[in-house]
Amino acid sequence: MNNKIRVARAEARMTQQELAEATGVSRQTINAIESGKFVPSTLLALKIARTFGKQVEDIFSLEEGE
């Protein structure tokens, strides 16, 4: 799964810690999602997208063959 969290954070001038606090997870969780080591739950993906005022599909996408 690909994600554009880092880009969305940069556009919003938001740190990983600020996103973590806004979504109720740890900064390490945000880091793991950004780096592709962790796939978020549907609930967390929705919270992340809502934090940026975007649709889930604007932040997350499937890789070819997934």
pLDDT tens-place string over residues 4-52: 999 999 999 999 999 999 999 999 999 999 999 999 999 999 999 999 9
pLDDT at 64: 83
What does pTM read for this prediction? 0.92
Apex 54 CA angle, 29 and 49, nearest 5: 20
Q: What's the average model confidence in pLDDT over 41-65?
A: 96
Domains (ranges, CATH) in the chain? 2-54 (1.10.260.40)
Mean pLDDT of 46-62: 97
Cβ burial 48-60 (10 Å sphere, 16+ → b, else e): bbebbeeeeeebb
Cβ-based burial of 23 (10 A; exposed 0-12, middle 13-18, buried ≥19): buried
